[in-house]
Structure 1
Amino acid sequence: MRFENRSIIVTGAGSGIGRAAALLFAAEGGHVVVADRTEGADETAHLISQAGGIATPIRVDAGEEEDVIRMVALACDTYGGLDVLFANAGISGGMANLFDTDVALITEVLRVNLIGPFLAIKHAAPRIVAHAAETGRGGAIVLTASVAGLRSGAGSPAYSASKAGVINLAAVSAQQLSGANVRVNAICPGLTETGMTKPVFDYAREANKMDRVGRLNPLHRGAQPEELARVAVFLASDDASYVNGQAIVVDGGLSSSHPVTRQDYGKTAA
């Protein structure tokens, strides 16, 4: 029960890694604000309640400041403060290459994937700091980045750039919260079966090609959301009390080499 009576916000909690993390937080005694822009928020909160946990759903757009302010206020008003933020919400932005990516697309991806975590930290961190001072226990912020933010070969230009920003945001935030007893870290998932990647996994199953999913990593498979959620929950817990400002890679070993088939500029794939 590492999170007994602790107040927690999880964004993007309507499915995938966010849902898996919200369930784990609640199973360990956390009081969870389940935030998502879809009805998945209500579904996740219902699953938590069915399991005997405590959760409050809220529909938000993670990249809209007023929504973020409302989300943080809900957690503080409902649960008496805020201990943990897991800023997990994100979008893929498709697979367009750099020269086919229009400004509207990259703007939207950055708005949700990078400005979203920035807003979450901006408005949640002061409340976490205040609550940590009141309770005498540390607070934690975890962000969802990606192996695509480490180097080329794991995502589109828009997505990769946004996640590189998240990795840096974690490091900068950890430094700017020096002395506040609040840690900030990021997780960097590899290929994981979530709503975002569902078409890839569905196609592989239909075409009987699941053996090709994740074939570039040493484990030769994709991840399940729970495998990423466990790492996020660990980083948010006191078990990770001396881990700060880090980007923890959870990718089956993919980024140990980041193998990729390259395509020459100006040429189309056969």
Structure 2
Amino acid sequence: MSGRLSGKIAIVTGAGSGIGKATVELFRQEGARVVGADLRGTDFECDAGDEEQVEALVAHTVRDFGGLDIMFANAGISGGFASIFEQDADDWAEILRVNLIGPFLAIKYAAPAMKERGGGSIVATASVAGLRSGAGGPAYSASKAGVINLVKIAATQFVGANIRVNAICPGLIETGMTELIYERARAKGQEGQIGHLNPLRRGGAPIEIANAALFLASDEASYVNGQAIVVDGGLSASHPFNHQSYGRTTT
């Protein structure tokens, strides 16, 4: 490995599985010292939507590792695909607490620690569901749209601090959150149809999002700020249409 994060100190939330777990492993391979945080089974047990716990997570990292350079606010919940009329205010409050207030808290407490180090990179997991309808339930989609705008606002509030704030918008990725989709497709012998709506005609893997997080966290992305980087196999590049294989012609 090239050690692209050599000497860096990082926090990854939602580190117990999927994208978070893959990112912790990749960051460590690239030379970072990483604190993986999740509700259980990680370096630091933390509810990403609880202010006291997030504050404690950052304080622990600064105290035990000497600072903070990278924060990947990745923790999230889906809330399912229930319609607006099937959800109540409590459903929305919990989804927004984890998916939107969580990244806000990560930014709020990571930024002062990064400023002490002369700068840093904050990355938040949003979603293509935050760009347009059709990729998630109402509350989930609204929360991820909020994350996209949050990173833009945060980037403008850290003028002069050398702190970059960006989001990643994954498409369909095989994680615990999408496990049911994959299981149903495999049970019906339709695994080959997963991701068929995007030009690459497949779902994504957690490591493909981790690679995007690595880029945004590294000095290679030193001029990337306030952006929402889409990693979805091309799904959101167009409106839905009848896909045909490359080189195929119609009569």
Q: Shared fold by TM > 0.5?
A: yes
Offset of 1:78 from its aligned partner?
1.1
1:77 alignment counterpart: 63
1:3 alignment counterpart: 5
2:94 alignment counterpart: 108
1:14 alignment counterpart: 16
Q: How many residues align?
A: 239
Using the size of structure 1 for normalisation, the TM-score is 0.87
State the Cα deviation string for residues 47-74 of structure 1 (Å, max 9, x = none).
xxxxxxxxxx001000000110110011
Give SS of 2:165's match. strand
Indicate if the aligned counterparts of 1:153 and 1:259 stay in contact, CA closer than 8 A: no
1:123 equivalent in alignment to 2:109: yes
Offset of 1:204 from its aligned partner?
1.3
1:23 alignment counterpart: 25
Instruction: Measure the CA separation in 1 of the matches of 2:203 and 2:54.
Output: 31
Indicate if the aligned counterparts of 1:95 and 1:155 stay in contact, CA closer than 8 A: yes
2:133 alignment counterpart: 152
State the Cα deviation string for residues 215-256 of structure 1 (Å, max 9, x = none).
111111100000011001100100011100000000001101
Instruction: Measure the CA separation in 2 of the matches of 1:155 and 1:259.
Output: 16
After TM superposition, list the pairs within 5 Å mapping 1:167-186 onto structure 2.
167-186=148-167
Give SS of 1:95's match. coil
State the Cα deviation string for residues 70-92 of structure 1 (Å, max 9, x = none).
10011101110000000000000
* Percentage of matched positions with identical amino acids: 61
1:229 alignment counterpart: 210
Instruction: Measure the CA separation in 1 of the matches of 2:96 and 2:240.
Output: 26
| Runs of 4+ with >4 A deviation | none
Instruction: Measure the CA separation in 1 of the matches of 2:74 and 2:231.
Output: 15
State the Cα deviation string for residues 172-204 of structure 1 (Å, max 9, x = none).
000001110110000000000001111111121
Offset of 1:109 from its aligned partner?
0.2
Give SS of 1:141's match. strand
1:247 equivalent in alignment to 2:233: no
Give SS of 2:176's match. coil
Offset of 1:211 from its aligned partner?
1.5
Indicate if the aligned counterparts of 1:153 and 1:258 stay in contact, CA closer than 8 A: no
Structure 1 stretches lacking a partner, 5+ long: 42-56, 133-137, 261-270
Instruction: Measure the CA separation in 1 of the matches of 2:129 and 2:122.
Output: 21
Give SS of 2:122's match. strand
Instruction: Measure the CA separation in 1 of the matches of 2:193 and 2:228.
Output: 27
Instruction: Read off the aligned partner of 2:186 and give its amino acid letter.
Output: R
Structure 2 stretches lacking a partner, 5+ long: 242-251
1:49 alignment counterpart: none
55, 61, 64: which one pairs with 2:50?
64
Using the size of structure 2 for normalisation, the TM-score is 0.93
2:36 alignment counterpart: 34
